[in-house]
Copies of this chain bind each other. A is one copy, B any other.
């Protein structure tokens, strides 16, 4: 399997946790490859900022609260712009793709309400699909290029798993707002709605981080 993809997925899915050292030998054994392709994969991940160089080798990057704030600021900027451009350039097929992603998203939320915990993965997927449809509609590969590196970070926290039904439904409503703004070629509205949408996402992730911190503090307390 492709070493780059494998390691990236492993980081996103939390198999390799933040701070964990990624030894070449170890990864080579894990992927049944020699160190050469492993090293190339690591170099790529390093230039994307997913792993951070140590004195020797690299470790999975740890993102602080401040990182999250700044990365989401970046994302509002880029994705807000993408939405505004999508409103100007969208084709009928683009709209179709967005509607499709949104319906699937809605269906997955319904299944989630029926206690189908597996549907969370689909929710994440269809959410991504909706956002990608917008980015692709704005017809600017460079925006896509940078956004794809920005978007990965919050995934590391898997905060979607903490969403409750209300939050998911609100998110769906905002999607619909964004979609209709894009359909009506109302670029400023699309930009603002998208920006707000992403800020809401940021709030969720930050709240999630607070929760985790509290749990850690509790654990620390029981240590002595």
**Residues of A at under 8 Å CB distance from B?**
36, 39-40, 43-44, 46-49, 67, 70-71, 73-74, 77-78, 81, 140-143, 145-146, 149-150
Q: A217: shortest Cβ distance to chain B, in Å?
A: 27
Q: A89: shortest Cβ distance to chain B, in Å?
A: 12
Cβ–Cβ contact B47 & A143, under 8 A: no
Q: Which residues of B contact A143 (CB under 8 A)?
A: 70, 74
Partner of A70, one of B39, B49, B77, B141: B141
Could you say how many copies of this chain the assembly holds?
A: 2
Q: Which residues of B contact A74 (CB under 8 A)?
A: 78, 140, 142-143, 146
Partner of A47, one of B48, B73, B140: B48
Q: Which residues of B contact A71 (CB under 8 A)?
A: 142
Q: Which residues of B contact A49 (CB under 8 A)?
A: 145
Q: A27: shortest Cβ distance to chain B, in Å?
A: 15
Q: A6: shortest Cβ distance to chain B, in Å?
A: 15
Q: Which residues of B contact A77 (CB under 8 A)?
A: 77-78, 81
Q: A40: shortest Cβ distance to chain B, in Å?
A: 5
A220 to B142 Cα, complex, angstroms: 32
Q: Which residues of B contact A39 (CB under 8 A)?
A: 40
Q: A133: shortest Cβ distance to chain B, in Å?
A: 19
Q: A221: shortest Cβ distance to chain B, in Å?
A: 33
Sampled A-B contacts (17; CB under 8 Å): A36-B36, A39-B40, A40-B40, A43-B43, A44-B44, A44-B46, A47-B47, A49-B145, A70-B140, A70-B141, A70-B142, A71-B142, A73-B81, A73-B140, A74-B140, A74-B142, A77-B81
Q: Which of A47, A67, A142 has the most CB of B within 10 A?
A: A142
Query: 8 closest Cβ contacts across the A-B interface?
Result: A44-B47, A70-B140, A40-B43, A70-B142, A47-B47, A43-B43, A146-B146, A43-B44
Q: A22: shortest Cβ distance to chain B, in Å?
A: 15
